Amino acid sequence: MKLLKMIKSLCFTLTLGAVLTSGARADEWNRKTTVTFSGPVEIPGVHLTGFGVLPAGTYVFKILDSSSDRHIVQIFSKDEATVYATILAIPNYRLKATDKTVITFRERPAGQPEALRAWFYPGMNWGEEFVYTKSKAVELAKTGKAPVLFAELDIPQEVAEPIRTADAPVVLQLKRAPIMGMRPTGEEVQLAQVVTPPPAEVLMASAKLPKTASDLPLFGMLGLLALGSAFSLKALASRTR
């Protein structure tokens, strides 16, 4: 009986650990970040009709899908009920991480809304450099006097319904789109001349991220297996009394 109690206790501890670990990793996996804009902000990507410029307010940024060399970022309403935009982004490296979220913008002429450039999650050296359409990249590079990433996409930039899943056709097209850089002179350059890629070990770690935030780690799976064993032993003990 003592052995059975010990096994039950161990199973409960392992299972509880699995639940807590899964919850703790959720925000780390999708980089969920709440951001408040004090003024209107122009955004790239595929967005809901009429929302190419977000009004001042609070929004939630999340990564929908990630691979070693590009990410898909989504911008939600404050309550996360509405997906305003689905954006292609390239990992860009910075030398010094900060303990706070950093959002950078591109320079615009007076009177025009700021244009979203990059998003850095707290404590991380690499962030998301956002990709624009070619025509918009030409404009932003010229006015901001800095290179801008672009992709030539044969897809609508406005959609009537929000994009919800990582396997949606639009998302698949974003992940396959060739990406270049546009200089202020109008010259097209290779991606590597615009962004600083993360170190190889960071890319490998990113490629191994779970597909959903609810995936249980191996430790949790062991806990569930042990729990099943405990019930089996209990049934066996009952039959041998």
| Local confidence band at 202 (pLDDT 50, 70, 90 cut-offs) | low
Q: What is the average pLDDT across 28-51?
A: 93
Q: According to the model, what pLDDT value does residue 27 have?
A: 62
Model confidence pLDDT, tens digit, residues 111-144 = 899 999 999 999 988 899 999 999 999 999 999 9
Q: How far apart are CA 163 and CA 221, in angstroms?
A: 32
Q: What Cα–Cα distance (Å) separates residue 68 from each residue in 11, 26, 74, 125?
A: 36, 19, 18, 15
pLDDT at 79 over 80: yes
Q: How far apart are CA 235 and CA 219, in angstroms?
A: 25
Nearest to 74, CA basis, from 126, 82, 57, 124: 82
Q: According to the model, what pLDDT value does residue 240 have?
A: 45
Q: What is the 3-state secondary structure (H, E, C) of 45-108?
A: CEEECCCCEECCEEEEEEEEEECCCCEEEEEEECCCCCEEEEEEEEEEECCCCCCCCEEEEECC
pLDDT at 19 over 60: no
Q: According to the model, what pLDDT value does residue 231 have?
A: 38
pTM of the entire predicted model: 0.72
Q: According to the model, what pLDDT value does residue 148 have?
A: 96
Q: According to the model, what pLDDT value does residue 205 have?
A: 59
Among the ranges given (95-109, 145-159, 186-200, 213-227), the one the predictor scored with the smallest mean pLDDT: 213-227
Q: What Cα–Cα distance (Å) separates residue 59 from each residue in 11, 34, 55?
A: 40, 6, 10
Among the ranges given (54-63, 200-209, 230-239), the one the predictor scored with the smallest mean pLDDT: 230-239
- Contact yes or no for 231/15 (Cβ under 8 A): no
pLDDT at 217 over 70: no
Q: What angle do CA 175, 204, 209 make, to 5 degrees?
A: 70
Q: According to the model, what pLDDT value does residue 3 have?
A: 45
Q: According to the model, what pLDDT value does residue 229 have?
A: 44
Q: According to the model, what pLDDT value does residue 2 have?
A: 46
Q: According to the model, what pLDDT value does residue 44 have?
A: 95
Q: For residue 176, how far is the Cα from the chain centroid?
A: 17
Q: According to the model, what pLDDT value does residue 235 have?
A: 44
Q: Mean pLDDT, the chain, as a whole number?
A: 78
Q: According to the model, what pLDDT value does residue 200 have?
A: 66
